[in-house]
Structure 1
Amino acid sequence: MKNRILKLAFALLITISAGAQKPTLFLGAKAHLGNGKVIENSAISIQNGKFQLIADASIIRIDPSAFDTIYRVNGMHMYPSFIVPNTTLGITEIDAVRASNDYSETGGFNPNIRTLIAYNTDSKVAKTVRTNGVLIAQVTPRGGRISGQSSVMHLDGWNWEDAALRIDDGIHLNWPASYYNTGWWAEPGESKQNKDYQNNVTEIETFLTKASAYAKSSKLMDLKMESMRNLFDGGKTLYIHADNANDMRDAIELSNKLHLKKIVIVGAEEALKITDLLLENNISLILNRVHRLPKSQDSPIDEPFTQTKKLHDAGVHF
């Protein structure tokens, strides 16, 4: 009896797997392609998690036998999944519970730290954002001067190997602030100069210079230096977290001095002040979230919303 049940279950699995070889078709939805183009009556097919067809259903001929399942979704809207960058999804659960936070390590320079292997596919938080259309995340470390390496992950998977989409896509550098604000959000104080700023920048330059020399020729194995190797041939991106205009200028100057190939600035709250410099050096941005107050008390209240439009109109990439 047990053998019969096992054979029946196995046969059922084979049938399901065989049926799943054909793509799934969605017909009739209003499709938003993400590039500004909209198809009012679309035909969209998906197979193995990838788009196989995106077309106007009113001008193509469709063979129903070519699809495993056809869903008629007239009156609905379809769009690609959202991708959330610079997030700790999957490496933290409850901020107040230290044992559930795996986004930061001790020490100042940790380029060898990888969020990839720390990513938790059983995260309860990731499930809540998936239902809102966020299916992919750049899981990013925090803390220290160099936090470590981020990876782009699917928010659905059996384990981190299964969820990995782009492994070790870049290294994250937290640029020191030349000025810092005192007080707190309800009672802001005056801005003060960071007296250790130049020393901090020198530490960064020294570390990156050593990494550059190691990448050119080294017979000894150093895990931290090895993690930095691909920064200098364009194989890996350096994400520089900075907000002040002067800090971003210094970061770009150092990057050019060391011939770093791919630079992205994260945060960039004062990016409008250095638009020409960003265009000249072909530097992309990842801006802070829009649901926040402006950086300066003198800034317009809608600056977090309008900044992106102004930068886009100027030709800055994101």
Structure 2
Amino acid sequence: MNLYKVAGGLASLLLLASAAPAATLYTGATLHPVSSAPIENGQMLVDGGKIIAVGADLSAQAGNAERVDLSGRWVVPAFIAANSVMGLTEIESVRGSVDVAETGAINPNARAQVAINPDSDLLPVARANGVLYVHVVPQAGQGGIVAGQSALVQLDGWTWEQMTVKAPIGLHLMWPSTRLPPWLPAPMRAEAIKGAARSRELIDQAFDNAAAYRTAKAAGTVAAPDARWEAMVPVLEGRTRLYIHAVDLQQIREALDFTRQRG
């Protein structure tokens, strides 16, 4: 008897699913398309989780779509948080919940999306405030230079695979700085300048190694794959962007000189 009830319930659900409208028409709201002026008392047609059209009257296009009245409300596009570590950190004072950077100086193979915590309490808070997408960018730890690859993720999903919209977005390079406070003692100043020069050498070395690896791979002489240089090959070939993080004027000038030299 219970089996018949279950079967009947499933059949009812199937009938309801087949009769359900394929789309939803939201009406009465003030729409802000950004690409044009606001639309008062506008209509927005959504199908399969995607916005199909916006306008003053979409009744003909909507057909038998479900109607939802949003009178008195504003509808704006989702916000995108750029250069964020959302999902990579939870509580700064709890070291185990902070995973924004890898150890070591050169980590081009580090992928931000695989380190995201889908259960982070920060994600629903951001969603509730209109942030639906995040450009998650790995950071550089102590002495870090090549931080890794960033990703565009949506703040909805059970796993990092479900959350990932596009990856990689680009490779991130933290340019060393020689901007030092005037009160810094001479020995510390000299050490800082020496460290920046060493970081600059490591950058050149990393790109030289990646270029040599690319050449060897094309010639079929690579003995074993190297995840670090594999991650940099798309950058050398122009298929992936390189983001150079530079703050002060000297950093920016040096970074521009570097890109000109490297083509």
TM-score of the superposed pair, with normalisation by structure 1: 0.72
Q: Distance in 1 between matches of 2:12 and 2:147?
A: 48
Amino acid aligned to 2:237: D
Gaps of 5+ in 2: none
**Residue 73 of structure 1, CA deviation:** 1.3
Q: 1 CA distance for matches of 2:230 and 2:206?
A: 13
2:252 to 248, 252, 259: 248
Extract unaligned runs of 5+ from structure 1: 260-318
Structure 1 range deviating more: 232-241 or 214-223: 214-223
Match of 2:193 among 192, 195, 198: 195
Residue in 1 that maps onto 2:158 = 158
Look at both structures and tell me which one has the larger radius of gyration over its CA atoms: 2
* 2:108 maps to 1:111: yes
Which secondary structure state, in structure 2, belongs to the residue aligned with residue 180 of structure 1?
coil
1:136 is aligned to 2:160: no
One of 98, 123, 128 as aligned partner of 1:126: 123
CA distance in 1, matches of 2:150, 2:28: 38
Encode CA deviations 1:84-104: one digit per residue, 9 max, x unaligned: 011111121111111111221
Identity of aligned residues (%): 30
State the number of aligned residues: 250
**Deviation of 1:44 (Å):** 0.8
Question: What SS class does the counterpart of residue 138 from structure 2 fall into?
Answer: coil
The partner residue of 1:62 within 60, 63, 67 is: 60
**CA drift at 1:182:** 7.3
Distance in structure 2 (CA, Å) of the matches to 1:214 and 1:16: 58
Given that 2:23 and 2:62 are in contact with CA atoms closer than 8 Å, whether structure 1 keeps it comes out as no
1:164 Cα offset (Å): 1.0
What one-letter code is carried by the residue in structure 1 that aligns with 2:203?
I
Shift of 1:54: 1.4
Question: Who is 1:27 aligned against?
Answer: 27
- Structure-2 separation of matches of 1:28 and 1:167: 37
Alignment of 1:16-95 (within 5 A): 17-18=17-18, 22-57=22-57, 60-62=58-60, 65-67=63-65, 69-95=66-92
Answering whether residue 145 of structure 2 is matched by residue 148 of structure 1, we say no
Q: CA deviation at 1:250?
A: 1.0
Q: Deviations over 1:39-70 (max 9, x none)?
A: 2232111122211111222xx54366431x21
Q: Distance in 2 between matches of 1:45 and 1:66?
A: 11
Q: Relative to 1, partners in 2 of residues 1:3 and 1:208: Cα closer, same or farther, differing over 3 Å?
A: same
Distance 2:5 2:160 in 1: 33
Alpha-carbon separation, structure 1, partners of 2:96 and 2:182: 30
Structure 1 residues 93, 5: CA separation in 2 closer, same or farther (over 3 Å shift)?
farther
The alpha carbon displacement at 1:72 in A equals 1.5
Q: Using the alignment, how far apart are the partners of 1:208 and 1:4 within structure 2?
A: 67
The Cα of 1:205 is off from its aligned counterpart by: 1.7
Q: Is the 8 A contact 1:81 1:133 kept in 2?
A: yes
Q: Aligned letter for 2:101?
A: S
Query: Residues 244, 132 of structure 1: CA spacing in aligned structure 2 closer, same or farther, 3 A cutoff?
Result: same
Which has the higher relative contact order, 1 or 2, with Cα contacts under 8 A spaced 6 or more apart?
2
Once residues 20 and 249 of structure 1 are traced to their aligned partners in structure 2, the CA distance between those partners, rounded to angstroms, is 59
Give the distance between the partners of 2:153 and 2:251, measured in 1 at CA. Answer: 30
Distance in 1, matches of 2:210 and 2:203, equals 11
Counterpart mapping for 1:271-310 below 5 A: none
